[in-house]
Amino acid sequence: MRNFLTGLVLSFFTVFVLSPHLTAQVTAQVTAQAANMAPLLSPEACGQVPISIARAWPHTDFNQCTAPIAEVRSGGPGKDGIRSIEMPEFQPVSSSALADEEPVITVSFNGDTRTYPLQILIWHEIVNDEVGGVPVAVTYCPLCNASIVFDRRLNDKVLEFGTTGNLRRSDLVMYDRQTESWFQQYDGTGLFGMLAGEVLTALPARLESVGDVRMRGGDSLIMATPKGFLRPYGANPYIGYDTSNFPFLFDGEVPQGIKPLEYVVIADDRAWALDSLQKEKQIKSGDVLLEWAPGRASALDSRKIADGHDLGVVTVSQIDEKGSKELIPYKISFAFVWHAFNPDAAIIR
């Protein structure tokens, strides 16, 4: 834990080619999710906004909310203290010097495949980009180990996201720069402001290793090291976090019968213990198939990310009646995170 805290203080200062009908699938997801708005609370239930937040966010209506402001706590840096990346630069994966074990997020739409290393996202948390004509926000919350890609289109707007510097349930709270509404990264729900109650659409993305991308070959592009930032890319500022006893900046209830920081695979509104999948290699539940293979380092273990223990590569697909597999949105997070957002739901072993 001492190494983890030391690294955390340091941080404050310093293809998967999807099927051709994916565009229609994404459109259907956007339509369905738009109809699935989160209920708003009364202004009284939203609570009294701390003066520090009110001064920093004069354009955000905190009386329009889906969660009490009391559930939000500072993560350390202020607004945009952890700076998002816009207009990222890329290079062919064949030219990348990253180790095969480096963990990455790969996004593919309309023949355009791009890969985003966690060694960059761990320092910036959000990359605003466009892949195959689809505006995306590639996000990573280190304290939850949640890698999630969102469609930046909401209603008639294309949003750009940044970090608020705040957490809810130890998870990143993002904001959009168009309306300054706050969003929960874990599920894309609008928390406060004009867009409170709206839900961003999570998009399919593959959580894999650089070695997997290289093995597929082709013309895959990998994000290049950003210029103009003094960050020790490749280093982990949260050393030993995923083997610590309790989550950082979390004061909620933890699940019983499982360590709070045990990894779980979350998909289709269910969670499976990762160690069970590692033993079985495949788990099929209805039309959902989970698969595991070795070769992807944890981003939250060793000082050097590439040296982290082998978390493995997980993919989650939906199987149709013909036996074809379609990648669906999923995340590899922690047991305490699943419990915080789904307190009545079990973790499947």
Over the stretch 242-253, which tens digit does the pLDDT of each residue have? Answer: 999 999 999 999
pLDDT for residue 1: 52
**Does residue 31 register a pLDDT over 90?**
no
- Nearest CA among 263, 268, 253 for reference residue 328: 268
**Does residue 22 register a pLDDT over 90?**
no
- The reply to whether the predicted model has a pTM over 0.85 is yes
The C-alpha atoms of residue 97 and residue 117 are separated, in whole angstroms, by 12
Reduce the DSSP state of residue 130 to 3 states and report it: strand
Residues 6+ apart with CB under 8 A from 83: 124, 162, 163, 229
Residues 6+ apart with CB under 8 A from 156: none
pLDDT for residue 311: 98
Categorize the per-residue pLDDT at 219 as very low, low, confident or very high, splitting at 50, 70 and 90.
Answer: confident
* Per-residue CA distances from 195 to 69, 163, 174 (Å): 15, 16, 12
Q: Please, what is the average pLDDT of the chain?
A: 92
**Does residue 20 register a pLDDT over 50?**
no
Neighbours of 102 (CB within 10 A): 25
Strand 206-209 vs strand 103-109: parallel, antiparallel, or unpaired? Answer: antiparallel
Q: Classify residue 297 by its DSSP letter.
A: B
- Return the biggest CA–CA distance within the chain: 58
Over the stretch 110-149, which tens digit does the pLDDT of each residue have? Answer: 999 999 999 999 999 999 999 999 999 999 999 999 999 9
Token duo for residue 97? 């010097």
Token duo for residue 273? 């213990």
Categorize the per-residue pLDDT at 5 as very low, low, confident or very high, splitting at 50, 70 and 90.
Answer: very low
Over the stretch 48-79, which tens digit does the pLDDT of each residue have? Answer: 999 999 999 999 999 999 999 999 999 999 99
20/182: higher pLDDT: 182
Our CA angle for 130, 135, 136, nearest 5°, is 85
The C-alpha atoms of residue 225 and residue 14 are separated, in whole angstroms, by 15
**Does residue 29 register a pLDDT over 60?**
no
* Per-residue CA distances from 37 to 25, 45, 196, 201 (Å): 19, 18, 9, 11
**Does residue 345 register a pLDDT over 70?**
yes
The C-alpha atoms of residue 193 and residue 64 are separated, in whole angstroms, by 5
pLDDT for residue 12: 40
Indicate the domain borders of the chain.
241-341
Instruction: Report the b/e string of 65-86 with b at 16+ CB within 10 A.
Output: bbbebeebeebebeeeebbbbe
**Does residue 168 register a pLDDT over 60?**
yes
* Per-residue CA distances from 320 to 287, 289, 324 (Å): 7, 11, 6
204/8: higher pLDDT: 204
Strand 85-86 vs strand 126-131: parallel, antiparallel, or unpaired? Answer: parallel
* Cβ atoms of residues 325 and 318 within 8 Å: yes
Q: Classify residue 205 by its DSSP letter.
A: -
pLDDT for residue 191: 98
**Does residue 349 register a pLDDT over 90?**
yes
Over the stretch 181-212, which tens digit does the pLDDT of each residue have? Answer: 999 999 999 999 999 999 999 999 999 999 99
Rounded mean pLDDT of 23-43? 67
Strand 171-176 vs strand 153-154: parallel, antiparallel, or unpaired? Answer: unpaired
* Per-residue CA distances from 76 to 55, 145, 152, 160, 164 (Å): 17, 18, 26, 22, 10
